[in-house]
Every structure is written in structure tokens, then in C-alpha cells.
Structure 1
């Protein structure tokens, strides 16, 4: 795609994707706060049940994450995004309906978050894969800065608003608001227009397993991509071990309100926003890869302070630690995603993104289950400390890899379609 002269905002496809994604992320973050609070306050869920609920919300990436990348590489990107948002809207809308009918149960919540996670797999992989087609590879750093800032803003607004909606209007009403946001996003995404070069390139079909294996080899065969994947996986694992049991710690153990929990999680969005906003300047000063290593060294260890959460000044200490840890995440999201996209040819973008999503969001599922298990068996505070230690050390793989010496983004790879299918190969779904 030839870059459009001038600002990214003159590109209609990018504007449409950005606006619709803002609504989608807003819905996601309202649900992030409202669903576990509904389980704890209305259905009396304990640490193990809260952890299981959080695990199921991301388990889909372990179940279908890898094949989803191959499917996204075959399918029209816009249709994938629209269908994913429409499905999420319908699933979340079923929760307040069941509550109003006095039929809501934990099994229904488990089913809703699992299926919602399946739709999220396709939305996340599809949106990252369609972006290079909409803006051109030369503008990926700028575009990713805008997208990461959007996600951070949605974290701040969605989680802050979500907490207060639960406090003022009840959790089911907040979840209905999230469903409406998804529906509005689906409507907006119908306006995205792109040439879908990825789906049009192959002249034949290969077995799904062969296509998945090609994506895995691309990621794990590269020292740079492997280090990025490991650091991000450890970050997500530690953060989710904490977040899975945080509603129990805040609401039951510390006696804090849903609004305070929402504001605490919103501080993480502020950290991501600060990290994304400073990432380009840090890359210009220290080099693209070196900035990733240094920011991890400076900020990640502060994640240990999260485990000190308590009433009074200790809440501020924990919030400051969470803010620092998520600032590092914001830098990683902007610079790391840009590096991943520049190291990957067009024909492998869906599978590369799906491999990362499988690892990163799979770590959320494992972290949720692990946090819930530790919280149930040894105490919520022990689970928070375990997650904080993991979060604080997650920067080491990038710091110890060739990424830390990279000053500039590598040249964009030539776009090569996958090899043609052999005469005996058949499509598998």
C-alpha cells in the first residue's frame, strides 16, 4: 500500500478502524471491571471461582489462538472484526437479561466469558493484522502509538467508568453498557475498506497445521521475536495473577469500594498512556531496541510495590507501583508491536499475531487460574506477592537478547505469499 501523504488521520480506513476500536475497547474494559464484581457481590464467588472466571475469559487464546491466525490470514479482515463485535454484544447482553429474570448463575457467566473470549481472539488478531494494510509499513510506529494510546485511554475511561457504574447502577447495568459499546463498534467497522491482500495472495490451500507451524517457526526461530514473546508472556502472567484476586482483596479483605478498584485499574491505563506517549522519544534518544531494555530495567521492578496494597498510604504505594509497571507495558506495546510487524512479511502477519496472542493471552488464562488457586489454598496476599515477583522480573529476556542493541527498526521484509499447496494437500478447518 502506498502511504497517503500527510497525517494518518487523513486515511479514512485508519480513522474508521480507530473510532470503532475505541468503542470496542471501552466495552471490554467496562466488562473487565463489571463481570468479576458481579460474580463477587451478586453470586458470592470466592477467590477460586473469581480466578476461574478470569481464566475462562482468556482461555480461548489457548484453545483456538493458533488456528485463528491461519483463519484470519484467509478471511476478509473487516468481516472478521464485525462478526467478533456483534457476537460479543449478544453474549454480554444475555447477562443483564438473565439477572432481570432472576436466572443468572455462575455457569452462565463462565460460558459467556469463554465465548466472549473466542470472539476477542478474532478481533485482536484481525485488528493487528489489518493495520499494516491500512497505513503502510512505513507508518507502523506512528499508527501503533495511536492504537496503544487508544487502548490506554479506554483502560482509564472504561475501568474508571465501569467501577462507578457498578457502584451507582449495579453490575448488570454496567455490563449492558459494554454490550451497547460492542454493537456500536460493529456498526462502525462496516465502513472499513481495504484491499485484503493477505487473503488474495495464495493460489492454493495448505493444511491448517502446516500454516500454524510456519507461524510458530517464524516467531520462535527469531531471537528478537522470541525475547519479545517471553517478556510479554511473563508480564501478563504476573499481572493477571494479581488482577484475578484483586476484587476479593479490595472488596472483602480491605473493605474498599468498587469505585476505588475501578480507579486503581484505571491507573494502569494511565501508565500505558504515559508509556505509549514517551516511547517514540525514548526510541529516538536511546535506539528502538535499547529503549525496550532500559525501560524494563527502570520500571518493571516497581511492580513489587503492588503487593503492599492496603488501606491509607499503602494503597497509594501500590498504585504508584502499578503505574510504573504499566508505563513499561505501554512502551513495550508500542515499540514491541512495531518491531514484530516490521520483522514479519504480510503473508505471515495473522499467524505471527496469533502466536503472540496465544502466548500472551494464554498467560492471562494461566495467571488467572494460578492466582485463584494460590489465593484459595494459601491466601489472597500470597497470590498477589507471587504475581508481583513475576511482573518485576519480566523484563530480563529482552534485556539479555539482541533486541537491546537495535537502534533502528529493520527494513520491511519482502511480502511473499505462502508456498503453493501440494497436489495432495487439502484445506482443513
Structure 2
């Protein structure tokens, strides 16, 4: 009877965690489009300014992303999630209010998104590390699949809502919707009941030792090492494309905000499908084989953007490209997130996730201005082509590594692979 009570408690905690995640993600995808349109239409920014603001958003990961992992492993994770959500709500609310009153400038926006990015950095490390405590062991892949499907669904709905809000009301109003979503997420997270591990005494902790221990675990690991390097390269290349994608669609292909929202929404539609298939494919073929095969879809997808031309059918190739890209993300997301958490001890999960994410998202701080500069100097298509080459290189690195053969617990016994413990 006690076991049933525990399972019900965990189920209820996951549902609340899931709801908070869905609301927050929906708002994020509303403002992802809204902030770019705010820069283009309200502040009349060019590709270089777009890259600079995007770099400011992700610069915290590069500066102190690994430190966030140490913090997450030192404190209780749920209260940290709530605090980060509240701070993001305040900062994005300030963006919306300043824009509505005519006081927002590109430098001010860059500072505000830098601060919001810092809060999100701590949230991300804690979010990934808390889930295995809420849903331990065999249920983790299914839980990640549900979160990935919801993420993909909000990735579809968010740009549509964002495009409609910008078209009917304004970009600042769309940003305020995101601020409200963070506030709702914080409120829901306060209701999540989870038994977190007992923290080690602070006197036994040393910052540099903990940072090094987290990095050693990732980069000296037989399969996490090449996985992390390939993923860093993927994020760098992807950022070069996505930094100029909306500008390319609005200025070169003449798509309106709603059409751009439809293009971005395609990623989420196919992402839901991919996330639904992902756990089954993992069981049948093994995590490594599924991920290293689907990685080749990303460069193929964005290469299709180069076929787009202005005219009545301008939306077609961007729509197909984003749909294929979303499928690739959906297929890999639940599997790679589950695998890296399953092979990492709980005491290291915060540092492992923060180490990987600090260089993933931190690379955007370099790639975004580089992509913007390439687009402003030689054209949007050159920046997109450079990103495609980088994505292909990332797929090649992972394909040639031991990660191609990894399996997670419960996957097909006929698939030989690595499930390394150190």
C-alpha cells in the first residue's frame, strides 16, 4: 500500500512538473518569434544587431555555465526552478513595458536578455537534473518522451500564437505573454512535491574540484565525450542558421509574421511525431544507432532552405525544411537526454548537464554574431550554407565515435553497445 502511495505521489509530481514545463515552453516560443520581430520591425535592427542580441542571451552559458552545475548540485533543485521562473517573468515583463512605452533600445534589450539568459541557465541545469528524482529508472525515457512531445507541440503552437499576436496587437504584447507564462510556471512548480537527496555538508566542498569533476566525467567518458563534442558543434552550426532564418524569411522571401509562424510551427508538428516514435525505435535499434542516423537529417533539412525563392510559393521550402528538422529533433531528444542522465550518478547530474549545456548554448554567443556578420556581409544564403556544413561535420563526428553503439537499459538485447559506468 505504501508503494502505491509513493507511485501516486510521483505521478502527481510529474504531472505538475509537466504542466509547468508546457506553459513555460509555450510562452518561450511565443517570444522567440516576437523578440526577433520586435528587433526587425520596431527597433529596425539588421542581421548584425540580431546576432548581438542573441549572443547576449546565451553568453551566460559561456561565462559561467559550468558554475551553474556546481550550484545545482549544492542546493535543492525545485526552489531554484521557482526562483529562476520568477526572475525571468520580471525581466521579460520589463522588455514588454519598455517597448510599449517607447524606451526600449537594442543595448537595453541585450542587457535584459543577458539577465534572463542567466536565470534560464540555472533553470535548465536544475530542470534536467530534477526529473530523474521525480521519475527514476525505467520510466525516465517515457517521461522524457512526454516532455519532448509537449515541447514540440508548444514549438508548433507558440510561433503561430506569437505571429498572430504580433500581427493583431504588437510584438511587445507577445513578449508580455511570455512573462506571464513564466509566472504561471513558477506557481505550478511550487505545488510539486518531491523528496530530494540530502545535501553534502558545505565544508567538504571545493569549487574548483567540483568543476573539474563535472568536466572530467563528461569529456573523459567513453561515450559522453564524443557525444558532447558533436553536440557543441551542432549547436554552433544550428545557431548560424537560426539567427538569420526569420530575417531571411521576412526580408528576402517577403513572408508576413503569420507565415513565418507557420514555418516555425512545422518544426513542432513533426517533433511531436518524432518524440512519440523515439522510445520504441530506441528499444528496437538502440539509442546510439537511432541518434547517429537521424543526425544526418539536420544538415539535409537546412540545405533545403537554399532552394527557396520569393513568390507565391516562397513558404514551401522553408516549411519542408523545418518539418524535416523537427522530425530529427523529436527522434533524438528523449533518447539522448535519458541516456546521459542514466549513465551519470545523481550527485554529478547537475554538473554534467550544466557542463554540456554551457558549451552548447554558450557556443551560440559566438555563432550568432558570426552568422549575422556573414549574412550582412555576403548574404543570408552564405550564412545558412555555412551552418549546413557545420551540421554535417557534427553528424560525421558522432557517426565515427563509440556513441553509435550505445544502448540504454531496457533496449533490444541483440544490440551490442556501451552502457559504461565509471
SS at match of 2:193: coil
Q: Which residue of 2 aligns with 1:88?
A: 88
Change beyond 3 A, Cα 1:135–1:411: farther
> What's the offset of the Cα at 1:4?
6.3
Q: Which residue of 2 aligns with 1:288?
A: 287
| Stretch of structure 1 that moved more, 372-381 or 9-18 | 9-18
**Distance in 2 of aligned mates of 1:163 and 1:335:** 31
Q: Deviation digits for residues 257-298 of structure 1, max 9, x if unmatched?
A: 111111111112223222211111211221222111222245
In the alignment, structure 1 residue 97 sits paired with structure 2 residue 97: yes
Q: Which residue of 2 aligns with 1:40?
A: 40
Change beyond 3 A, Cα 1:348–1:408: closer
Q: Which residue of 2 aligns with 1:265?
A: 264
**Distance in 1 of aligned mates of 2:199 and 2:24:** 27
Question: How many residues matched?
Answer: 412
**Distance in 2 of aligned mates of 1:292 and 1:61:** 25
> What's the offset of the Cα at 1:241?
0.8
Change beyond 3 A, Cα 1:300–1:251: closer
Q: Deviation digits for residues 73-92 of structure 1, max 9, x if unmatched?
A: 11111111111110111011
Q: CA RMSD in A?
A: 2.3
Q: Which residue of 2 aligns with 1:419?
A: none
Instruction: Provide runs of 4+ in structure 1 moved above 4 Å.
Output: 2-10, 410-414
**Distance in 1 of aligned mates of 2:297 and 2:99:** 46
**Distance in 1 of aligned mates of 2:9 and 2:375:** 46
Residue pairs, 1:11-410, within 5 angstroms: 11-197=11-197, 200-202=199-201, 204-297=203-296, 300-311=299-310, 312-313=312-313, 315-409=315-409
> What's the offset of the Cα at 1:352?
0.3
**Distance in 1 of aligned mates of 2:249 and 2:305:** 12
SS at match of 1:174: helix
**Distance in 2 of aligned mates of 1:7 and 1:251:** 49
* Structure 1 gaps, min length 5: 415-429
| Stretch of structure 1 that moved more, 12-21 or 392-401 | 392-401
TM-score (norm 2): 0.92
CA contact (8 A) 2:214 2:348 kept: yes
SS at match of 1:80: helix
**Distance in 1 of aligned mates of 2:214 and 2:207:** 11
> What's the offset of the Cα at 1:319?
2.3
> What's the offset of the Cα at 1:111?
1.1
| Stretch of structure 1 that moved more, 4-13 or 256-265 | 4-13
CA contact (8 A) 2:290 2:332 kept: no
> What's the offset of the Cα at 1:306?
2.4
Change beyond 3 A, Cα 1:200–1:3: farther
SS at match of 1:256: coil
| Stretch of structure 1 that moved more, 223-232 or 185-194 | 223-232
> What's the offset of the Cα at 1:235?
2.3
TM-score (norm 1): 0.90
Change beyond 3 A, Cα 1:238–1:3: farther
**Distance in 2 of aligned mates of 1:375 and 1:135:** 44
**Distance in 2 of aligned mates of 1:71 and 1:284:** 34
**Distance in 1 of aligned mates of 2:62 and 2:228:** 15
* Structure 2 gaps, min length 5: 410-417
**Distance in 1 of aligned mates of 2:323 and 2:235:** 15
Change beyond 3 A, Cα 1:191–1:403: same
> What's the offset of the Cα at 1:112?
1.3
| Stretch of structure 1 that moved more, 82-91 or 143-152 | 143-152
CA contact (8 A) 2:10 2:194 kept: no
Change beyond 3 A, Cα 1:13–1:398: same
**Distance in 1 of aligned mates of 2:5 and 2:270:** 32
Change beyond 3 A, Cα 1:213–1:4: farther
**Distance in 1 of aligned mates of 2:127 and 2:3:** 19
